[in-house]
Amino acid sequence: MDEAFNQAKQRVDELITILDRYSYEYYVLDQPTIADSEYDKLYQELLKLEEAYPTLVQQNSPTQRVGGTLLPGFEKVEHDLPMLSLDNAFDLEGLRAFDQRVRQLVDGEVEYQCELKMDGLAVSLKYEEGRLMQAVTRGDGRVGENVTGNVRTIKAVPLTLKQPVTIEARGEIYMPKSSFIKLNSDREEQGEDVFANPRNAAAGTLRNLDPRVTASRNLNIFLYSMVQYGTLEIETQSQALSTLNDLGLRTNPERAVFQSIEDVWSYVEEYQEKRANLPYEIDGIVIKVNHFDRQEQAGYTVKAPRWAIAYKFPAEESRTVVNEIEWSVGRTGVVTPTAIMNPVQLAGTTVQRASLHNVDLIKERDIRLHDTVFVRKAGDIIPEVIRVDFEARPENSEPCQIPTHCPACSSELVHLEDEVALRCVNPKCPAQAKERLIHFVSRNAMNIDGLGEKIVIQLFERQLVKDVSDLYGLTKEQLMTLDKIADKSADNLLQSIEASKTNSLERLLFGLGIKHVGSKAARLLAEKYETIDTLKTAELEDIQSIEGIGEIIAESVAAFFELEAANELISKLKSFGVNTTYTGVKPEERSTVESVFNGKTVVITGKLEHFKRNELKESLTLLGANVTGSISKNTDILIAGADAGSKLTKAQELDIPIWNEEQLLEEIPD
C-alpha cells in the first residue's frame, strides 16, 4: 500500500509539472507542443490518481483551478502598496511636457519603456515561494477585492511559478476581441443583455460570484509590473518584464525601449495604426522611465507616478451612411431627430442609431440623407455623428425635411423662445401622453414593478389608460386582455400598482413630470412642504429660497399648479388613494451618525443582489449622500452591481472609486 501510495505521489508531482509546462506553452507562449488530446489524457490520469488518493490533491494542481461552489462575495483587501493610476497625455505636446518634467527631476540620461495600454482591469497577484496566494482587483487603489478564486480559473495565470520566489506582480486582465464577440452573440441568442465592450465583459466575468462562469469565458492576462520582488535583483522595467516572463507569467511582447520622446511618438503613431488589427483592445500607450533608480528620483504625486504617463488614443471613429432621420416626441413635447445609419462597428459595439439632438445640429453639421458620416462615441458610450465626409457626398444627397407638424398628433410644431428644440405643444398629443406614462411608472418615479414600457404602450394604445391616474383604476380583467399577461402576472401587476400608492411624495412629484423637476428637486420640495397641498399654495419666493432650487424650477412648479388639468389629475390620484405626503425622514431628524457617505456624490449601477435599488438610494440619501444618475468628475463613489455597463467604464476612466455590494454592506447593514 505504502509503495503504491508513494508511486502515486511521485506520479502526481510529475503530472503537475508536465501539465503546467504544457499549459505555459499553450496559454503563455501561445506555442503548444502537444495535441490537446494528449493534454487531456494526462489531465485525466491526474484526476484519477487524485480521486484514488484524496490526500494527494494539491492546491496548485491544474484540477483545482475551478472551485465548484458559489462565492459568498468578494472580501476587501488592502494593498500593501497602493495601486496608483497614471496621468494622461493626449498629443505630442503632452508627451514633450512629460519628457521635460522627467528630465528636470532625473540625473543623467533617460530611457523610456513603451507598453500597450491594455483596456481591461488591473489586478495584483501575490506569489509566495512560487505559489499563487492572492489576486486582488485595483478597487479604489488602496483597497481592492479578493478575486483569487476567479483568477485561478484563468489558464494563463500559473498557479506555480518556475522559481519558488515571493513576489507581487501587477497586470491587466482582459477579454480578447474574438471571445467578446462570441460571448455577446451567445448572450443575444439566449435573450440576455449583451456587454457594451470587452472591458465590461472582462469586469463582469472577473467579478462574477460563480467561478465556473469565469472559467467558462476566455479571460486572459498580461502582467506589466512587479512591485515586490523578494530576492530577485532587478534594475529596470524591461528587466522586470523579462523576469516575469521567465517566471512563467504572461507579458505583452509588444513593447520597446527608446531614448527620445520623438521616438516614443513614432511608436505611438505606429500602434495607432496597428490597433484595430490587434486581437485585444488597447486604449493607449504607457510610457515609463526604464531605470528604477531614475523612477525613484522622479517620484510620485498622491495619485500617480511622475515617472510614467499614459498616452490616450483619440476616440475611435467609424464611417457609415445615413439612411433615414427619425423624429420622435418626448414627454415634454420635444421632437428629437435620430440618424438611422448602416450598422457599423465602433469601439467594440455595433452602432446603427445616433441622436442628432436638434435641428440646429443637423444644419450646423449639414447632415443630409445618404451622406457618409463619421461617428464616434462621445466621451463614453453615446454614439454621435461628428461630421459629414463631404467628398463622399453623393449626387442624390437630400437635405433632410424638418418637420413642421408633430409626427404623432399632426399639430403644428413651435420653437419656444430661445429653445433650439422643436416642440409639440398640444397638451393632448398622444405621443407625449404615452411618454409621460412611461416616465410615471419608471424606477426613479413611482417604480411600478413589472409595468414595463411594452405594457404601458399597450395600455395606452388600447385606451385602457389615458392619463397616469387611470393606472389606479385598472382591473384584473382589463390587464388580462393584454399580450402575454396571464392570471398570475395580472395579479402581480395589480399588487405593484397598489403598492405604489404608498410612495412618499417625492416620487409622485418626480413622476408627474413637471418641467425641470428632476428627482433631486422633487425630494427637496417634498422634504420642505411635506404635502402636495402645501406645495401647491407655496409662494414663488419661498420655493425659490430652497437651496438647490433655482428660479427656473420654482417658476415651473408654480406654473404647473396653476394648470387646471394638473389639479384635476391630482384630485383623481387622491381619490384613488395615492399618497401625497412626504413619508421619508425629515432633514432635521436625520441621524447625525458619522457616515462615509456624508456629502458624497454617489452613483448606483448594475444589478444589485442585496439591496433594492430605490431603498439603497433612500438609505444613502439618509446617510447624507447625494445620489445622482450619471458619472462625472464630481462623482465620489460608483456603486457597481453585476454586469455594470457604461457607468462602470466611465468611472474607471475617471478613476472614481468603485464599490461593490460587500463593501456597501459593511457601511449599510441590511
Q: Which residues would be at the binding site for ligand IVH (CB under 6 A)?
A: 84-86, 115, 117-118, 122, 138, 172, 224-225, 286, 305, 308, 310
Contact 215, 166 (CB under 8 A): no
Distance of CA 5 to the CA centre of its chain: 51
Least separation, in Å, of the C-beta of 347 and ligand IVH?
Answer: 16
What are the E-state strand segments in 251-380?
Answer: 255-258, 282-289, 308-312, 317-329, 334-346, 349-355, 368-369, 372-378
Give the shortest CB-206-to-ligand IVH separation in angstroms: 12
CB closer to ligand IVH out of 211 and 305: 305
CB 340 within 8 A of CB 286: no
List the one residue out of 229, 276, 279, 17 whose CA is nearest residue 127: 229
The least CB distance from residue 657 to ligand IVH, in Å, is: 13
Cβ contacts of residue 239 below 8 Å, gap of 6+?
none
Q: What is the DSSP annotation of 269-289?
A: HHHHHHGGGSSS-EEEEEEEE
- Cell numbers found for residue 586: 425629515
Closest distance of CB 115 from ligand IVH, Å: 4
CB closer to ligand IVH out of 240 and 322: 240
Amino acid letter, residue 321: V
CB closer to ligand IVH, 86 vs 147: 86
DSSP 119: S
Q: Rounded to the nearest whole angstrom, what is the least distance from the CB of residue 295 to ligand IVH in the complex?
A: 10
Nearer to ligand IVH, 138 or 523 (CB): 138
- Pick the closer one to ligand IVH by CB: 158 or 305: 305
Q: How many CB atoms lie within 10 A of CB 339?
A: 26
Distance of closest approach, residue 303 Cβ to ligand IVH, in angstroms: 9
Residue 174's nearest CA partner among 224, 140, 110, 101 is 224
Nearest to 125 by CA among 58, 192, 186, 170: 170
Work out how close the CB of 464 gets to ligand IVH at its nearest, in angstroms, rounded to a whole number: 52
Burial of 459 (0-12, 13-18, 19+ CB in 10 A): buried
To the nearest whole angstrom, how small is the minimum distance from the Cβ of residue 291 to ligand IVH?
16
Q: Are 335 and 409 in contact (CB under 8 A)?
A: no
Nearer to ligand IVH, 239 or 355 (CB): 239
Q: Which three cell numbers stand for residue 486?
A: 396571464
Please compute Rg for the chain using Cα positions: 30
The Cα 340–Cα 349 span in angstroms is 16
The total number of residues shown for the chain amounts to: 670
- Judge whether 138 and 152 are in contact, CB under 8 Å: no
Q: Which of 278, 270, 308, 309 is nearest to 291 (CA)?
A: 308
Residues 6+ apart with CB under 8 A from 158: 20, 23, 24, 28, 132, 247, 248, 249
| 308 in Cβ contact with 84 (< 8 Å) | no
**Residue whose CB is nearest to ligand IVH in the complex, by number:** 122
DSSP 402: P
Nearest Cα to 137, choosing from 564, 652, 497, 664? 652
**Smallest distance, ligand IVH to C-beta of residue 118, A:** 4
> What is the smallest separation between the CB atom of 86 and ligand IVH, expressed in angstroms?
4
Q: Where are the extended beta strands (E) located within 119-219?
A: 121-128, 131-137, 143-145, 167-174
Q: Which residues are catalytic?
A: 117
How many Å apart are CA 479 and CA 169, to the nearest integer? 59
Between 115 and 506, CB nearer to ligand IVH: 115
> Which cell numbers hold the place of 243?
523576469
* Helix (H), strand (E) at residue 616: helix 613-622
Please identify, using beta-carbon distances, which residue of 244 and 356 lies nearer to ligand IVH.
244
DSSP state of 207: T
- Between 305 and 348, CB nearer to ligand IVH: 305
Residue nearer to ligand IVH on the CB measure, 224 or 560: 224
CB of 132 to ligand IVH, least distance (A): 19
Q: What is the largest CA-CA distance in the chain?
A: 95
Q: Which of 245, 279, 259 is nearest to 116 (CA)?
A: 279
CB closer to ligand IVH out of 35 and 302 = 302
